[in-house]
Amino acid sequence: MSGNRAAIGEVTSGCRVFGAYKLFVGIEGIVPIIHGPVGCYWSNIFFQLAQNQSNLRSGTSALHDRDVVFGTENRLRQAIEAAKRYYHPEVIAILGCCVPALVGEDTELIRKEETLDTIFIDAAGFKGREWEGYEEALLSLMPFIKKGERREKTVNLFGMDAVSPKVRADMVEIRRLLARCGYQVNAVPGVDSTFDQIQKMAEVERNVVFGGCGLRLAEAMETEFGIPYEVVEIPYGFELTRRFLKQVTGVNYEENVMEELKRANAMLHRFYDMPVAVIGDCARVRAMTEFLFNELGCDVRLTASVYGSPLYPETEDDLFEIESKIQELGDELRLIFGTSFQKRVAHNLGIPLIRISHPTYDEISLCQHSPYMGYRGMVVLVEKILNLFLNGYPKEDW
Amino acid sequence: MYTPDGLETVLLRDLARGMHRFSINCKLSGGVALSTGVKNNVTIIHGPRGCAFQQRIPVLRELDAKMVLCSNLDENDIVFGGEAKLADTILKADRTYMPELITVLLTCATGIIGDDVQGVIEDIRDKVRSKVIWADTSGFSHRDLKDSAERLLRDQTESYRHPRSQRVSMIQGCGQEELFKSFVTQLMEPPERYGGVDSRSAFYVMPTRWFGRWWSEYLREIREIFGSVGIRVDCISFNKTNVEEICRLPCYAMNLKGYGRWARIMNEKFGTGFLPDVIEYYNSPFREGIKNFYLDSARILGVEKEIEREVEERLRVMEEALKPYKEIFKGKRLAVLRGWSHWGTPYLVLSQIFNLGFKLVYLDLEYDHVYDWNIDKNVIKDHLDAIREVFNSYGVDADIRIEAGIEEDIEALKQYRPDIVITSFERKWIPHSLGIPAYVPYTFSFYQGITGALLAAKEIYAEYSRQGIKRPPPIYARNDLYPYDQKRFPLPCELMPSVRLWEDVRYVRQ
């Protein structure tokens, strides 16, 4: 683990601007403007488009040489005007990158001039990590949340974003399961939420915080609106799903996953003691590890959290070290649950890689009904793992 | 051919290519793409973590780059300077990876705070085994995009009118240029160190994207033709080149693929000859383009007379090999629906007309929607006039349109009833839906040289001979299910605001 906030290495996660972007781009009605040079915009939208090529409600001020010398304010004004012209947003979220932070523009003046509601996130890359940008962006929604009549058995889900693999299918499954327990979901900030849902976030019975991601807003809402929150593990597998539903709804709801898994009965037993590695954001790594170890009986040889949360701020911050550890395990390892950044090492070692976490840019999730979370997700995961091996052509290298 | 490259590459490349409708990447991306193509190099991104994270996937490589370290500057470093951390990062890179070369790339933050990178390198030179170079790839450090777009179009216009005396031009914002300059000024060594310039040698640089399988054949052709007059040609490809090869480049007398200003700097510093080409005229796969590539290069190398005979002989053999195809295609009607960028399109289309005897009846020119940009309309008009003049000068008189809509293209195909269409992979269904064969050339750059001419003929013939191509438009092209922009197909209507916003913001002159 690296406690150093800014350790030298092959970094595993992005900066504040990306943390903020991946939240705002998933809220209809809010348009994030990357206030910086073209590269900051390109890089952010790349991860977004890799997951959803039909949505790109964002803009940039596209700063360059002359703006650094003569000031960046006009560029920002033009970007805001263009965003209003093309998207008709309810709120503009200005994500200030390194350049405006360093040249010292008067963003507040521009915000005062603006008739539309604006959010400003000081997202300069040197000011912090991706998860911190996400937390700050989520917290910045507070002023827009209106006090309203409490809706029983309704929750908000915090900690999700627009760029994680399977996230839409996962949310469909979570909504389905909560509905079975009599609960509704108001907003999932970051995943196809509307601004109206954001404004109504104070009407819920409680907030659900996955893996501590989104904790700062949950705490603020508890203080401001008296809405309690539950920190839950991501519901991978049978037990975590059962526990999640019990924790959130108080209902002990189970679905018999063995009804489907039994069709691979003869193969399931090979999961036992299978050496695996789990790499990803802190919430997914914790939950996936628990599922793999406790339910499938795998031998989890390596875990690495590359993206933190207020509860788990410590992260592994050097891809080189992660790769080295994987390589040390070598042939022993049979499967990696990780991100696209483990693609090369997985390929070199001939080990299958299942992408469970951001950054994932080389896998697309289309079907809304094939999640990894929840009871259905467990079946999908088991099916995927088995087929990864079964589809391979046996090596005959004796 | 469906595509010469693997789909694992093509799908990501298509995504990145499509992204250029909404944005462009910064210099850091080009710098990372180029530097990570050098064997035993470690790239250091000197700046905050986000730059290193985001640019780990260089667009031109479609992979996550390896050995990309970040100095990971935080607020303290920005206030007090990032030099100490840069020194630590270089030392760590040297110790951990034991590379031959360390390439330091600047980011916006370090470009602004003004770290003395050269000073840091000098200070620790004795403590590291590897060579260390740096390049200013800070993302903001490019000209106004409106200015540079106009300049590029003007340069291209001139080049279309005088293809054998082209200007050196460059695309603003591509960090490959900056790093190439750094190679020239910081890494390349005086040829005297290696015994001087070999006047009978040349190199051909392949930076990052042209790695289609056919290139090895094409390079063999270049080597053989120059080799016939005793000129050695080596290929420097940035997926496997090593540090020593770059250091020794000044030992060559000529740079055969000399695009960009770095080629001029190399010429000024080491006297290395080069041949500017911003419109892909040279070695376009037809007699004139091929011949002039060799003759104009040979003139610089002083072997013009010697090589002419060999080139003529090769062209004779080429024309002989093309004869059977020409007999089949002579007088057949050809239509072109986009397919290539406007760069070089005239020569690539002309190549098929001359090589195979087609009659061009309809050309829908890909033009990057330049007319929608906020740039000087006279510049655009002049540019288009120059392209039309190229066709006219070769006696080609076809219906040329600029980025016609899908319906317009369909109508044109019905009207002109071409025997074959050359198009992009996204539009291949249009001629197929009418039962017309459709050939899709290589996405980024058409085949070149004699090899390219023969390969294209073979592939065009294969498509022409296919049976049972007619089928209805695919579901993803159905406007009633997912409306797309007529002119910018396959862009869906719902993404058009993002495109227009980008074009508005990009070309605003302050």
Give the pLDDT confidence of A123-178 residue by residue, as tens digits.
999 999 999 999 999 999 999 999 999 999 999 999 999 999 999 999 999 999 99
How confident is residue B237, by pLDDT bands cut at 50, 70 and 90? confident
User: What is the pLDDT averaged over residues B136-157?
Assistant: 87
CB contact under 8 A, A64 and B141: yes
Nearest-neighbour CA in chain B from A258: distance (Å): 35
Establish if A75 touches chain B: CB-CB under 8 angstroms: yes
Collapsing DSSP to helix, strand or coil, B234 comes out as strand
- Chain A contact for B502 (CB, 8 A cutoff): yes
Q: What is the 3-state secondary structure (H, E, C) of B442-506?
A: CCCCCCCHHHHHHHHHHHHHHHHHCCCCCCCCCHHHCCCCCCECCCCCCCEHHHHHHHHHHHHHH
Instruction: Provide, as residue numbers in chain A, all residues whose Cβ is less than 8 Å from the Cβ of B108.
Output: 36-37, 97-99, 102
In this structure, what is the dihedral angle of CA atoms B209, B210, B213, B218, given to the nearest 10 degrees? -170
Give the span between the Cα atoms of A180 and A253, in whole angstroms.
8
Instruction: Report the pLDDT averaged over residues B244-269.
Output: 92
| Residues within 8 A of B (CB atoms), A 28-47 only | 36-46
Selected residue with higher pLDDT from B16 and B308? B308
Task: Tell me how far apart the terminal alpha carbons of chain A are, to the nearest angstrom.
Answer: 40
The DSSP H or E segment spanning B382 is: helix B377-393
Q: Is pLDDT of B460 > 70?
A: yes
Whether residue B166 contacts residue B277, with contact meaning beta carbons closer than 8 Å, is answered with: yes
Single-letter residue type at A96: G
- Report CA-CA distances (Å) from B150 to A64, A233, B153: 17, 55, 5
Residues of B in contact with A11 (CB under 8 A): 49, 52-53, 70, 72
For B141, which residue in chain A has the nearest alpha carbon?
Answer: A65
Neighbours of A143 (CB within 10 A): 10
Contact B408/B401 with Cβ under 8 angstroms?
A: yes
Minimal CA separation from B497 to chain A, in Å? 5
pLDDT surpassing 90 at residue B10: no
Q: Which two tokens stand for residue A125?
A: 């890359």
Q: Does any CB of chain B come closer than 8 Å to the CB of residue A381? A: no
pLDDT of residue B169: 73
| Among candidate residues B126, B139, B67, B152, the one with its CA nearest the CA of residue B102 | B67
B88 touches chain A (CB under 8 A): yes
Q: Which of B25, B113, B497 sits opposite A38 (nearest CB)?
A: B25
Mean pLDDT of A379-387: 98
CA-CA distances (angstroms) from residue A138 to A197, A227, A310?
A: 14, 16, 13
The answer to whether B508 faces chain A, any CB pair under 8 Å, is yes
Q: B324-345 as b/e, with b when 16 or more CB fall inside 10 Å?
A: ebeebbeeebbbbbbbbebbbb
Q: Does A7 touch chain B (CB under 8 A)?
A: yes
Residue B378 has pLDDT above 80, yes or no: yes
Read off the pLDDT of residues B57-96 as tens digits, 9 standing for 90 and up: 876 665 678 899 999 999 999 999 999 999 999 999 999 9
Per-residue pLDDT at A5 exceeds 70: no
Indicate whether A1 pLDDT > 50: no
In three-state secondary structure terms, A201 is: helix
- pLDDT (0 to 100) of residue A251: 98
Map residue B3 onto helix, strand or coil. Answer: coil
Task: Assess contact for A357 and A373: CB atoms under 8 A.
Answer: no
* Minimal Cβ distance to A8: which of B23, B64, B69: B69
Residues of chain B positioned with their CB less than 8 A from the CB of A124: 48, 109
Alpha carbon of residue B397 to chain centroid? 29
Q: Contact, A16 vs A124, CB < 8 A?
A: yes
The predicted pLDDT at position B172 comes to 58
State the number of CA atoms in the 13 A half-sphere of A242 facing the CB: 11
Query: Distance from B247 to chain A by nearest Cα, in Å?
Result: 27
Tell me whether B48 touches chain A (CB under 8 Å): yes
Whether residue A123 contacts residue B133, with contact meaning beta carbons closer than 8 Å, is answered with no
Cβ-contact A177, A126 below 8 angstroms: no
Across the range A267-289, mean pLDDT stands at: 97
Predicted local distance difference test score (pLDDT) of residue A273 = 97
Tell me, yes or no, if B141 comes closer than 8 A to chain A by beta carbon: yes
Average pLDDT over chain A, rounded to whole? 95
Pair type for strands A117-122 and A91-96: parallel
pLDDT in the model for residue B441 = 84
Q: Write out the two tokens for B167.
A: 């200007």
Report d(CA A327, CA A319) in Å as an integer.
12
Exposed, middle or buried, A111 (CB in 10 Å: 0-12/13-18/19+)? middle
Which residues of B are less than 8 Å from A66 in CB distance? 144, 510
H runs (alpha helix) in chain A: 16-24, 38-51, 65-70, 73-87, 98-103, 107-113, 130-139, 167-180, 195-199, 215-225, 237-249, 258-261, 265-268, 282-290, 319-329, 343-349, 374-390
Look at residue A3 and tell me whether its pLDDT is greater than 50.
Answer: no
Is residue A119's pLDDT more than 70? yes
- Within 8 A by CB and 6+ apart from A38, the residues are A60, A62, A64, B23, B24, B25, B26, B139, B173, B506
Mean pLDDT of B117-139: 96
Q: Does A7 sit within 8 Å of B64, measured CB to CB?
A: no
Nearest CB neighbour to B139, from listed A37, A49, A56: A37
Spatial separation of the C-alpha atoms in residues B238 and B220, rounded to whole Å: 17
Examine the pLDDT at A66 and tell me if it is beyond 90: no
Q: Which of B64, B141, B496 should be substituted to probe chain A, the one whose Cβ sees the most A Cβ atoms within 10 Å?
A: B64
pLDDT value at A111 more than 80: yes
How far are the Cα atoms of A184, A270, B157, B392 from residue A288, in angstroms, in the given order?
25, 18, 59, 66
A42 CB neighbours in chain B (<8 A) are 19, 23-26, 29
pTM for the full predicted model: 0.94
Mean pLDDT of B241-258: 94
**Smallest CA–CA separation between A115 and chain B, in Å?**
20
For residue B194 the two structure tokens come to: 């290696």
Which residues 279-338 in chain A show a CB within 8 A of chain B?
A: 317, 320
Provide, rounded to the nearest whole percent, the portion of chain B with pLDDT above 90. 73
Calpha distance A148→A157 (Å, rounded): 18
How far from chain centre, in Å, is Cα A160? 5
User: From CA B43, how far away is CA B61, in angstroms rounded?
Assistant: 15
**Contact: A98, B112; criterion CB under 8 Å:** yes
Q: Which two tokens stand for residue A282?
A: 């802190």
ipTM above 0.90, yes or no: yes
A 202-231 → B contacts, CB under 8 A: none
Give the residue from A25, A30, A19, A23 showing the smallest Cα distance to A199.
Answer: A30
**Which of A394, A305, A321 has its CA nearest to residue A357?**
A305
Sequence-ordered list of residues with C-beta below 8 angstroms from that of B217, at least 6 positions apart, any chain: B451, B455
- Are the beta carbons of A43 and B140 separated by less than 8 Å? no
Size of interface A-B (CB pairs under 8 A): 210
Q: Can the peptide bond before residue A352 be classed as cis, meaning omega within 30 degrees of 0? A: no
Instruction: Give the span between the Cα atoms of B99 and B128, in whole angstroms.
Output: 10
Contacts of A341 in chain B (CB under 8 A): 56, 64
Mean pLDDT of B407-414: 97
pLDDT band at residue A11 using 50, 70 and 90 as cut-offs:
very high
pLDDT at B444: 55
Taking a C-beta distance cutoff of 8 angstroms, is the pair B45, B107 a contact? Answer: yes
Give the model's pLDDT for residue A4.
45
Q: Is residue A398 very low, low, confident or very high in pLDDT (cuts 50, 70, 90)?
A: low
Cβ contact B74–A5 (<8 Å): yes
CA distance readout (Å), A27 to A30, A184, A214: 6, 19, 15
